[in-house]
Amino acid sequence: MDYIVFDLEWNQCPDGKDKEDKRLPFEIIQIGAVKLNEQFEETDRFNEYIRPVLYKTLHFHTREILHVDIQSLRRARSFPEVASDFFSWCGTDPVYCTWGSSDLLELQRNLAFHGMESPFPFPLFYLDIQKNFSLQMEDGKSRRSLEYVSNLLNLPKSTPFHNALRDSIYTSRVMQKLDKQALLNYFSIDYYRVPGGRKEEILVQYGTYSKFVSKSFANKNDAMRDRKVASTPCYLCKKPAKKKIRWFTGNSRNYYCLCYCETHGWLKGKIRLKKTEEDRVFAVKTLKLIGTEEAKRIVDRKDAVRRKNQRHRSS
């Protein structure tokens, strides 16, 4: 099995967001990657620029950080040619590794824009090195830049950042510093392709929590009324945990609940509602065992939402 640590650089509409093609807000202009073996040792590299066909003038931000000129890009090969070679280079059944989740999203958008069949399996599990760094070395919630982490770990830096190949190299070096088993245990799920129905819905259990990815719904109300989305089974014993505080929200996307398993104790539920590429809604639900102090914080949060709603009704 090979690990493909890859990074992308992209261009965007130089005339502003109002003029961009909504199908492809970011057009890939470079793919860089490092191939690692099962011991996380580097065995090969991939690097190629791509000729733009949509945004043929560089956005000022792209020019500032990439230090590449449009004339050299115009001499490069097309996205379908480079992408096909990239996936052939990746080999069969690779594990993809990225810094954050955006590269996989934009790669699949570019594939769709060019009418190319996606080679990715469903569901697509991958390793988010940025998230895993936070889980292993910080609070699990922070998301640091690659340059920040490279400096923190005192990694050798012979070349500047913001180049797809160089950033892939730095990401692979961060990966090599992490605990391998912990890294493999906390894999991420790509959300570009959403489950097409009940049979495709995703349920995975991590060491300290479970994650459920639902099918899509027409709107958030339909999603939150769905019995499977709203259910709160204890992920350890699989028995229903009784809701002490039903699903509530302080904003338009995230919902929370507090429930109790007679065998394992308090569970915190969180639902994030996300949009599909077709502007539908799907739910990502996590259930996590917590202590009494965190349970009290959820009670306090619910009370704060209730008081806020009361003030709005009385004003």
**Domains of the chain by residue range:** 3-188, 194-314
Q: Is the per-residue pLDDT at 14 higher than 90?
A: no
Specify which residues 245 forms β-bridges with.
Answer: 258
The CA–CA distances, whole Å, from 68 to 27, 58, 59, 76, 163 equal: 15, 9, 11, 12, 10
Average pLDDT, the chain: 94
Residues 6+ apart with CB under 8 A from 249: 255, 256, 305
Alpha-carbon distance 62 to 312, whole Å?
A: 44
For domain 3-188, give the CATH number: 3.30.420.10
pLDDT at res. 315: 67
CATH T-level assignment (fold) for domain 194-314: Alpha-D-Glucose-1,6-Bisphosphate; Chain A, domain 4 (3.30.530)
Six-digit token string for 119: 């080679």
Report residue 252's pLDDT band, with 50, 70 and 90 as the boundaries.
low
Looking at residue 314, what is its pLDDT?
73
**What is the DSSP secondary structure assignment for residue 70, as one 8-state letter?**
H
Among 59-73, 164-178, 203-217, the range scoring the smallest mean pLDDT is 59-73
Higher pLDDT, 253 or 285: 285
Contact between residue 150 and residue 17 where contact means Cβ atoms under 8 Å apart = no
Q: How confident is the model at residue 129 (pLDDT cuts 50, 70, 90)?
A: very high
Rounded to 5°, the CA angle 216-219-224 comes to: 80
Output the pLDDT for position 113: 97
Predicted confidence (pLDDT) per residue in 267-292, tens digit: 999 999 999 999 999 999 999 999 99
Please give the sequence-ordered ranges of beta strands (E in DSSP) within the chain, or none if there are none. Answer: 3-11, 27-36, 42-49, 95-98, 125-128, 188-189, 202-205, 209-217, 242-248, 254-261, 265-275, 281-289
**Fold identical between 3-188 and 194-314?**
no
* Measured distance CA(26)–CA(22) in Å, rounded: 9
| Distance separating alpha carbons of residues 100 and 120, to the nearest angstrom | 17
- Residue 115 clears pLDDT 90, i.e. is over it: yes
d(CA 16, CA 217): 31
Confidence of residue 50 (pLDDT cuts 50, 70, 90): very high
CA angle 10–12–18, rounded 5-degree value: 160
- The whole-number pLDDT of residue 160 equals 77
Please report, as a single letter, which amino acid is at residue 112: A
Quick one: pLDDT at residue 162?
83
Q: List all residues 6 or more positions away from 282 whose beta carbon is below 8 Å from its beta carbon.
A: 191, 194, 195, 213, 214, 215, 216, 217, 223, 273, 274, 276
Residue 72: band (very low, low, confident or very high) from pLDDT cuts 50, 70, 90: confident
Decide which of 68 and 115 is more confident: 115
The larger pLDDT score, comparing residue 100 to residue 59, is at 100
Q: Which of 66, 72, 88, 87 is nearest to 10 (CA)?
A: 66
Query: Sign of the C-alpha dihedral, residues 11, 17, 18, 24?
Result: positive
Predicted structure pTM score: 0.92
**In the block, residue with structure tokens 């958008």:** 109
pLDDT attached to residue 312: 73
